[in-house]
């Protein structure tokens, strides 16, 4: 990991502290040089980057350091999962206030390294710098199995069946509960510790025509898939997998607009659906059939009766996004 913007003795001490929580990366050159050096791979590479920023994605009074480290890696692993990639390595850029407690940095490392071990992904480099607010930016890479094509948003065809993993709206409900003063619930755990569906992504690569992870709300992300695939969709609202708590607090519309679910939305050709469902059952991966892709205006979504749906907008950082200000209010 390289360093900028802090005193040498301090920053190298922080680097050593952070790296001590990760196993040594089995790559030709790992942390410590200007670049990591990676061995050639047989499969195609999938690379993504994402950041979590204090008072935008988390509030330090609500999230433990372990929660923050977990979430920073989980949101990136979800992108790899959506492409059907196997996680391989990542680099981590940390921006810290100058007085950031060492125990909190160690906690971030513990949360991140625990998830990294679970998915056998190696930290191979990164950067430390000083900043007014804590932010963590990761670049992660995975690889496809040889002969396997990536899952993209653009492969859907009319007649493909739509599936969603897990349940929807829990992370949004968790944020609302945190804002109201609740500090512990199943929904709050989903907000703090999203589960990247890496296993489902690898399984789905054998069956699906298109897919993506639901990070900005199902309504918005389904529109992205339909637009990229140049199709419409028919959504069976009564089949959406919602917990009792979400159904009571948010309703269907609120769940459709909820961001940070990090579930996978997948389009499967109808002839492959029986095999796909059997594979998910064997893998103990919960998926729900929620509709199908249809011919029509790209991005247009109807309900099962054919009525056009005016779906709620999802999360957007630059259009009144859900920023958490320092008083704890959602803005």
Q: Give the bridge partners for 161, in sequence order.
A: 268, 292
Q: Indicate the length of the chain as a whole number.
A: 331
58 is in an annotated binding site: no
Positive or negative torsion for Cα 271, 277, 283, 287: positive
C-alpha span between 118 and 92 (Å, rounded): 18
Considering just the CA atoms, what is the radius of gyration of the chain in Å?
20
213 is in an annotated binding site: yes
DSSP state of 147: T
49 is in an annotated binding site: yes
50 is in an annotated binding site: yes
Positive or negative torsion for Cα 65, 71, 76, 81: positive
252 is in an annotated binding site: no
297 is in an annotated binding site: no
126 is in an annotated binding site: yes
153 is in an annotated binding site: yes
Q: Starting from the edge strand earliest in sequence, which strands make up the sheet with 45-53, in order?
A: 2-3, 122-130, 86-96, 135-143, 45-53
216 is in an annotated binding site: yes
Q: Please spell the DSSP secondary structure of 15-37, one letter per residue.
A: HHHHHTTSPPP-SSB-BTBSS-B
Strand ranges for 220-309 from DSSP E: 232-235, 263-268, 287-294, 301-303
260 is in an annotated binding site: yes
Q: Which residues are annotated as a binding site for substrate?
A: 57, 260, 315
Q: Which residues are annotated as a binding site?
A: 34, 48-50, 57, 79, 126-127, 153, 213, 215-216, 260, 315
Q: Which residues are annotated as a binding site for ATP?
A: 126-127, 153, 215
Q: Which residues are annotated as a binding site for Mg(2+)?
A: 34, 48-50, 79, 127, 213, 216
């Amino acid at each position: 990991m390289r360093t900028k913007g802090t005193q040498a003795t301090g920053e190298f001490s922080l680097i050593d502290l952070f790296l001590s929580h990760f196993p040594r990366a089995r790559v030709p050159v790992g942390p410590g040089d200007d670049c990591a050096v990676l061995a050639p791979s047989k499969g195609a590479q999938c690379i993504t980057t994402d950041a979590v920023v204090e008072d935008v994605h988390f509030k330090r009074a609500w999230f433990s350091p372990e929660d923050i480290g977990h979430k920073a890696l989980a949101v990136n692993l979800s992108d790899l999962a959506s492409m059907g990639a196997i996680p391989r390595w990542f680099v981590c850029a940390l921006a810290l206030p100058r007085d950031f407690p060492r125990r909190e940095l160690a906690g971030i490392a513990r949360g991140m390294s625990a998830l990294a071990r679970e998915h056998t992904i190696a930290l191979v480099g990164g950067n430390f710098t000083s900043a007014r607010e804590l932010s963590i930016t990761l670049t992660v890479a995975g690889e496809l199995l040889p002969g396997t094509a990536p899952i993209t948003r653009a492969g859907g065809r009319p007649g493909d069946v739509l599936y969603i993993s897990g349940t929807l709206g829990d992370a949004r409900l968790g944020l609302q509960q945190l804002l109201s003063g609740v500090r512990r619930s199943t929904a709050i755990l989903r907000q703090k510790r999203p589960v990247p569906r890496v296993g489902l992504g690898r399984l789905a690569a054998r069956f699906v025509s298109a897919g993506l992870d639901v990070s900005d709300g199902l309504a918005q992300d389904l529109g992205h898939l339909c637009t990229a695939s140049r199709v419409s969709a028919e959504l069976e609202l009564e089949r959406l997998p919602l917990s009792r708590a979400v159904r009571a607090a948010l309703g269907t519309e609120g769940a459709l607009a909820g961001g940070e679910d990090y579930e996978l939305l997948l389009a499967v050709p109808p002839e492959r659906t029986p095999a796909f469902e059997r594979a998910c059952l064997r893998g103990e991966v919960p998926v729900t059939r929620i509709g199908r892709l249809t011919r029509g205006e790209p991005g247009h979504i109807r309900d099962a009766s054919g009525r056009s749906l005016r779906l709620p907008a999802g999360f957007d950082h630059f259009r009144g996004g859900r920023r958490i200000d320092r008083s704890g209010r959602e803005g």
